[in-house]
Amino acid sequence: MQRLSGTTTNRSNVFAIWTTVGYFEVERCNPGVNMPSVDPDGNEITLAKLIDPNYKWYRYYQAIYPDGYTYGKELGAEFGETKRRRGFAIIDRSIPVDFRRGQSANYQDAILLQRVLD
């Protein structure tokens, strides 16, 4: 009985996952339009600065606006007709699965339950 306490646990590798997907317009960043016109030092931001890796705040703006894009309004928000997809899944991480980027492997074996809710 004492040996069992070292080989078992009360922790589970089963997870419940809720997801919600919203659809948004994506816009090119324009200083002063959909992003600040000055940087934290008070200097004017230009499009040339945003693509210059030597610019002091380059990494900062790349983290906030990856690839020079930002979110716009949600589709359907003007008319109150936003569509969001919701999903639920139960995943068991104790089931061994293979993962290789770009290839379909047996990762679906770990998904015990999967539902799309509208």
Give 10-residue mean pLDDT values along the chain (118 residues). 70 90 88 82 84 85 81 87 93 86 83 92
d(CA 64, CA 50): 11
Q: What's residue 39's pLDDT?
A: 86
Q: pTM, whole model, 2 decimals?
A: 0.56
Query: Coil, helix or strand for 83?
Result: coil
Structural tokens at position 51: 């693509």
Q: What's residue 70's pLDDT?
A: 84
Q: Which residues contact 21 (CB under 8 A, 6 or more apart)?
A: 84, 85, 86, 87
Bridge partners for 26 per DSSP: 71
| Residue whose entry in the numeric block shows the structure tokens 């919203």 | 22
d(CA 101, CA 85): 25
